[in-house]
Amino acid sequence: MAQVNFRMKDERLTLIDRAAAIRGVTRTEFVLRSSEAAAIETLNERPVIALDDDAYDAFVAALDAPVEPNDRLRKQLARQPLWER
């Protein structure tokens, strides 16, 4: 089993202890549950797209394909960047 150690100001530790007491859990359990919930939330912010081999190959080919110039692209490329204005 892995171990994690933290250094923190007393005010933070007191805050965590108060919250843990309200939840009726230990400091360790509170920190574990809170960090696990934050980790899951962070991971869920990034969608996972599963592709079969053919779809993946088509996706990579689309990324690698050169951009077809069009009026909108030409107009955008002709604009002076904000930092040069």
Q: How far apart are CA 74 and CA 69, in angstroms?
A: 7
Tell which residue, 38, 20, 37, has the closest CA to residue 29.
Answer: 20
Give the pLDDT confidence score for residue 56 in this predicted structure: 96
Give the pLDDT confidence score for residue 22 in this predicted structure: 98
33 domain residue, yes or no:
yes
55 domain residue, yes or no:
yes
Number of domains in the chain: 1
Q: How far apart are CA 33 and CA 25, in angstroms?
A: 10
pLDDT at 67 over 90: no
Residues 17 and 27: beta-carbon distance below 8 Å: yes
Residues 54 and 62: beta-carbon distance below 8 Å: no
Q: Tell me the per-residue pLDDT of 23-60, one tens digit each, with 9 for 90 and over.
A: 999 999 999 999 999 999 999 999 888 999 999 999 99
2 domain residue, yes or no:
no
Domain of residue 55 covers: 10-80
pLDDT at 18 over 90: yes
Give the pLDDT confidence score for residue 85 in this predicted structure: 84
Give the pLDDT confidence score for residue 37 in this predicted structure: 98
Give the pLDDT confidence score for residue 78 in this predicted structure: 93
